[in-house]
Every structure is written in structure tokens, then in C-alpha cells.
Structure 1
């Protein structure tokens, strides 16, 4: 089986994919030291709380981001020590905490931490990214609803099948197989044909693992309007 690599790339918001770690958290990074490896997990971060000013992300009080995290942005997977860690979002320039909570990270697990909710009532959604090698000719796809005020929604292929049904705020699916090709995805009000937003002409590549996120506010017409983003969680190595 091909070596399988983790990455996180927000195609719409402009995060850049980098090869960080394999699923064993070892093959992509070269460690030339003789010090025994410290147990780590993988953690990525997404800021999908509409209306927030630019933020910083900290673990146990240590800032992780080099650049401010804006709405719709985040951090690619990075290694984090396992155990109970205090995660916080703070306002860039002031250091005031907008939300903080304890994460429990397990060795060799991958997680995505999402800042969600309206700006006055932010909170966390922590996803365990159970990433496995897709079957030949297929990709794996997950859907997550991070819109705090949209109705429950379905993820569907335009003029095709419903892939994920009836997910309310903070609802999410498992990673499921999907044939690798170009799609137009629709986010519909659950159980109806009412389209709330779309992802048009999206290339789904065989061997990759993806997540589609719904973010934004149902009644907004500005930058916080309902939007669907596609993130690449993992891709096959060329080695």
C-alpha cells in the first residue's frame, strides 16, 4: 500500500498544503536526533465563528500560528504533545481570550479543532479525523455543518444522490467513499430541493481524503454568508 500522508488545505480560504506526517506520524519528517521520540498527535485548526476579529491560537499559553487567523482560515496539521492540553483563541494584538477549553489528545491520532458559533457565543467542535486509505479508484469524503443558524442540511450531488442527510449545527458524517471525478455539490435544506449554497466543478481525486464544511450565517449577504469549503485532509505519497 502506498504511504499515506496527512495534510490540511482549505481551497477556498487559501491554506497551503504541506506534507507533514504519515498516518504513523513518522515517515515525512526526518528526525536525526538520538533522543527518543515524544508521543504526539496531529492537530489542525479551523476558525469558522463568523464576525470574529483576527485571532491567535494557543496551546498551554504558547502561540502556534505565525500569522493572524481570520474567519474561514486556520492551521494545517501540526504535531502536538499528547495528554490534556489547554487550547485557546485570543484576539490578535490584545491577547484577550474569546474561548478556551481543555483538549485530550491521544498518541498517533489526528484531530481538527473548529472554532464555531456566533461571535458572542463561540465554542469548540473537536473532530477525530479517522483517516484511512481509500479503495482503489475512490476518495473518502466527510461533511461537517458549522453554520450556527442554518437549518439542518443535506449534502448532495447536483442532479444526483444525497450523500449525507439531515445534519444540524455541529453535525458531521463519517468519511465515506466517493468515486474520483469532478462534481458540483449542493448543500440543501434537509429533506428538500432548496439549495442553500454550492461547490461548483470540484475535482475529487482518487486516493485523497476530503472534508466539506458548511460555514456562515443563513441570513447574511456579506462575507459571513453561507459558504461551503473543501479541505484536503490527506493525499497519497508519490513514493
Structure 2
């Protein structure tokens, strides 16, 4: 009888442990609510830029002579020509969705001077959606354009994906091609944006851009060293048509995914 009772207790314990296992859940990290936005500075004549969303500075340029940067979301950094915020890898800033007022301003040149407003807009940002906020054009008051970053077509895990944007003022239409000759986007006019197109994964893939319909490269090839499967990138033609030096037309690559 004692052995029978012991067996029943053991079975009850095992059944209880089994039921507990069935009800346990593995904790997961919730996805933050809001929209995702990446600021892309491609205006060669504009100063570094601060981004304010709902009057909150989420990126910051450092005035001359200052010893620290104003606090914001994440680590504030100066957004200069040919860079993005957030600036590391595939990061996007998570911001409020809906009708969102933004301000772009150039930081003060010194600790005593004032900032200069570059642009103000109200953006419509959908919950959970990804966007690039492009700053481009000539002069110190550049243009601003919000574009959706829709990765739904980038669904072949054996490829990486690229799109091409022409942001060179007064420039003709361009083609984007691999340095091997394969054309990825054709006849993209100023402010034109191609669809994402799949590219076979290759280490150190090199890209060139050309006057539409020609085989003459505008500048030297731009090599991308992180073309792993599933990667999604945007390739921007930036600079000013006919210029040399800092504003010379060239390619700039940033990562979306």
C-alpha cells in the first residue's frame, strides 16, 4: 500500500510539472510603438543639422567652443553632409506616429550665437512604418523630402537589395550599375527614386553611376563591403552637377535593413 501511495504521489508530481511546463511562456522584448525615421543629409552647401520632432531635439550639432552636446533621444551627434542619423548600421529613430511637426535647424556657430531654422514641416508617419527624411539641394536652405522605406519586395533571402536616388541638383538622368556592367536602375531623373532590386550576394560589390544610356562612369566605383543576404541599402547620387571638391558628384550608401 505504501509503495502504491508513493507511485500515485510521484505521478501527481510529474503531471503537475508537465502542466506547469505547458503554461510557462518565454518572455519577449516588445517592439516599441511608433514610426521609424532616418535623417539623410545630402546637401553639400548646408551646415550640420539638428532634428527636432515635437520640439524635442533627437540629434544635435556641437557649437564651437562647447564642451558637451545637448541631451536627446539616444546619443546626439552632428548630422553633417554625407551622413545619417541614426548613424550606425541599420538603426532608425523611433518617434511618435501620426501628424508630427518637425524642425531642421543648423546649430549655433558659437556658444553665444543662435541656431538657424532650415525647414519646418508636418509629417504623416504611420505606426510601425519606416521612412527616410532626405535633406538635399543647394544653398544653406536645402529641400526636405520624406520617403517610405518599404522592404516588402526585398523577400529573397539569397540576395541583397538596393535602390537608387538621384539628388544632384541640375543634373541629367542617371543609371546605376554594378562595376561589372549590370544596370540596376535606369534613367533616374533629379529626385527620382528607383524600386528596390535584388542583387546576387557578393563580397565587396562595387557600384557606379553614369549618364543615362551611356557606359561612361561619372566617378570612381563605390564599394559596399556589407552585402550579406537580406541586406537592404539605398544608394544616393549626391553633390552638385559640374562642381569639384567637396560637392563633386559621387555615390553615398546607407543601410536600411
Name the TM tier (shorter chain): 0.7 to 0.9
The alignment partner of 1:151 has SS state of coil
- Contact kept? 2:47, 2:140, Cα under 8 Å: no
**1:38–1:81 contact (8 Å) kept in structure 2:** no
User: What 5-or-longer segments of structure 2 have no aligned partner?
Assistant: 1-27, 60-75, 87-91, 109-113
Paired residue for 1:85, among 100, 106, 112?
100
SS state at 2:205 partner: strand
Contact preservation (8 Å) 2:159, 2:201: yes
Equivalent residue, structure 1, for 2:256:
233
Distance 2:254 2:184 in 1: 17
Alignment partners' CA distance in 2, 1:210 and 1:38? 23
SS in 2 for 1:196: coil
If each structure's strand is expressed as a fraction of its own residues, which one has the higher value? 1
Is residue 122 from structure 1 mapped to residue 142 from structure 2 by the alignment? yes
Q: Aligned to 1:196, which of 215, 218, 235?
A: 218
- Please give the alpha-carbon distance, in whole angstroms, between the structure 2 residues aligned to 1:90 and 1:145: 24
How far 1:198 sits from its partner (Å)? 3.6
In structure 1, how many angstroms separate the alpha carbons of the residues matched to 2:119 and 2:222?
A: 34
2:183 paired residue number: 162
Task: Please report how far the alpha carbon of residue 51 of structure 1 lies from its aligned counterpart in structure 2 after TM superposition.
Answer: 0.7
- Determine the C-alpha separation between the residues in 2 that align with 1:200 and 1:68: 24
Aligned to 1:186: 208
Unaligned runs of 5+ in 1: 1-28, 32-36, 235-239
Q: Give the one of 55, 73, 83 matched to 1:73.
A: 83
Q: Identify the residue that residue 173 of structure 2 maps to in structure 1.
A: 152
Runs (4+) of structure 1 moved beyond 4 Å?
none
Q: Does 1:59 align with 2:47?
A: no
Question: Which of 103, 115, 125 does residue 105 from structure 1 map onto?
Answer: 125
Secondary structure in 2 aligned to 1:223? helix
SS at 1:207's partner residue?
coil
* Structure of higher CA gyration radius: 2
Specify which structure has the higher proportion of helix: 2
RMSD: 1.9
Deviation of 1:121 (Å): 4.8
Q: Which residue of 2 aligns with 1:26?
A: none
Residues 129-138 or 39-48, more deviating: 129-138
Check conservation: 2:171, 2:190, Cα contact below 8 A.
Answer: yes
Match of 2:69 in 1: none
TM-score, normalized by length of structure 2?
Answer: 0.73
Q: Work out whether residues 199 and 229 of structure 1, in 8 Å CA contact, stay in contact via their aligned partners in 2.
A: no
The answer to whether residue 69 in structure 2 is matched with residue 49 in structure 1 is no
Shift of 1:183: 2.4
- Is the 8 Å Cα contact of residues 184 and 198 (structure 1) preserved in structure 2? no
1:158 to 1:115, Cα distance in 2 relative to 1, 3 A: same
**2:62 alignment partner in structure 1:** none
Kindly state the Cα deviation for residue 200 of structure 1 after the two structures are TM-superposed: 3.7
